[in-house]
Structure 1
């Protein structure tokens, strides 16, 4: 078990922040405090025993799907699809449309909220949903079509605000981000990053995205195999320390965020 994973699960490693310390100074100066909103300080209704009020559970199910669990027990699955799913239906799912492994045509009927990262009627998707102790919003981006053209607003970066943390899932991002995108994102604490190196973006372009967002914790996804993952990690190590988790699930709090940006690899499919 790496040092970063120990602090995620126990909050004891000496080289990470303790208490409610702030993010790196550069990130605070460059990013507006758009996240978290008032929902982050709302009193909890029912607290799952395994999570404190300031903790969020993140589990890598596989491909681009994570389950995010809030202190009140709200479960969210990202890029929910028909191939890789959590074992039990979450309350909320987000989806994107670049490939069928990022959306479902038949979501489980037990799911209360299905948030699509594109608008079937055209134009950008526009989500801003609060359920319990989590706020979910999206920032629209573009995708490449199979013919090589641009489909505007075909993807969404979803942002999950809970427990004083802002977690962003890049979805099937196909381009670097503009200042307008970054302003809409605001401060991001945990970034879930596709690192395939081609289907989404080339590694050098994805590294530019990571630098522009400057999240303290970055978690790779969408890497298919170990060689693809290692190609990304080789580039990432030039800028960030890399830790490996023994388990697919970690517990994260604002106090346990790294002092400087780091990459944490969770085992998954």
Structure 2
């Protein structure tokens, strides 16, 4: 499995068999130019969205003709298999008011190559024990950490501690290409051990044997 951080909350996951799953594509120049990442040109087998906001569910203009799966609908319908990939979703919210402020959110769980990955979308609250059980044991967690629109650094730490992934990859944080009122990744990293910055946008895990013995945080560089 190869995990490529495109930008913001968008990732491309490619399995060993070549199936390509694109998570949460954004609208380049969206929100009146506040989101300045480049256009996504990576072809995908399937596009999965956590919700329909422009920085997470912009599927127009993507190359090819990928199947588009709504994570929120997936949470209702149950697991789905695409080639060698199993997908399921856990219904959550974009805020701490059960969706009254910003709506619903889906945490999407992908299983392939003997590995389990969770994309947390725009999660806006910490998880109850039951929600943690619904997500289940995971190896890789793609987690928003910037706050304001999502969980902040402290809340993201609580989510990470509940789910206990072997690898956490931060997303949805302030960079020079984002004018949202959100925090940088540094607040989430502060005081934490086993932080790795490989200096690339890609993480390669061929099998569970490639997982670290000690849980770590991997900060990937946005590709776009």
Q: Same fold (TM over 0.5)?
A: yes
State the shift of 1:243 in Å.
0.5
Aligned-partner Cα distance in 2 for 1:111–1:93: 10
3-state DSSP class of the match of 2:200? coil
CA RMSD of aligned residues (A): 2.5
Give the 4+ runs in structure 1 shifted more than 6 A: none
State the shift of 1:124 in Å.
5.4
State the shift of 1:113 in Å.
1.9
**Partners of 2:95 and 2:125 within 8 A in 1:** no
State the shift of 1:107 in Å.
5.8
181-190 or 107-116, larger mean C-alpha shift: 107-116
Task: Give the aligned partner of residue 48 of structure 2.
Answer: 94
Task: Give the aligned partner of residue 161 of structure 2.
Answer: 211
Structure 1 residues not aligned, in runs of 5+:
1-55
**Partners of 1:175 and 1:205 within 8 A in 2:** yes
1:260 pairs, out of 214, 217, 223, with 214
101-110 or 128-137, larger mean C-alpha shift: 101-110
1:200 pairs, out of 150, 153, 157, with 150
110-119 or 204-213, larger mean C-alpha shift: 110-119
Task: Give the aligned partner of residue 242 of structure 1.
Answer: 195
Paired residue total: 206
**Alpha-carbon distance change, 196 to 158 in structure 1, aligned in 2, over 3 angstroms:** same
Structure of greater Rg: 1
**Alpha-carbon distance change, 159 to 111 in structure 1, aligned in 2, over 3 angstroms:** farther
Aligned-partner Cα distance in 2 for 1:145–1:105: 27
Question: What TM-score does the superposition give when structure 1 sets the normalisation length?
Answer: 0.70
Question: What TM-score does the superposition give when structure 2 sets the normalisation length?
Answer: 0.83
Structure 2 residues not aligned, in runs of 5+:
29-36, 177-182
Aligned-partner Cα distance in 1 for 2:52–2:127: 18
